[in-house]
């Protein structure tokens, strides 16, 4: 489980063939990724919703 700066949490799993993250299978691999940046899918979704809402009311 990754704790993101925004306050959200994200599961980080290795589920081939859809998600390839073999580094999660070992303690050394997980430790090597501590501090790496991850995008937050929840915040990304909110940003897209905000963009769609703001552009929907704009005139060209």
pLDDT in tens, the chain (60 residues): 889 999 999 999 999 889 899 999 999 999 999 999 888 989 988 876 666 554 455 554
Is there a cis peptide before residue 17, judged by omega within 30 degrees of 0? yes
pLDDT score, position 57: 52
Range of the domain at 32: 2-56
At residue 28, the 3 state secondary structure works out as helix
CB 12 within 8 A of CB 38: yes
pTM (predicted TM-score): 0.59
CA distance 60 to 30: 49
Specify the number of domains making up the chain.
Answer: 1
CA distance 45 to 43: 5
């Amino acid at each position: 489980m990754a704790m993101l700066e925004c306050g959200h949490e994200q599961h980080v799993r290795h589920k081939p063939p859809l998600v390839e993250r073999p580094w999660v299978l070992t303690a050394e691999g997980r430790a090597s990724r501590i501090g790496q940046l991850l995008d937050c899918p929840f915040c990304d979704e909110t940003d897209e919703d905000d963009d769609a809402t703001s552009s929907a009311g704009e005139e060209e």
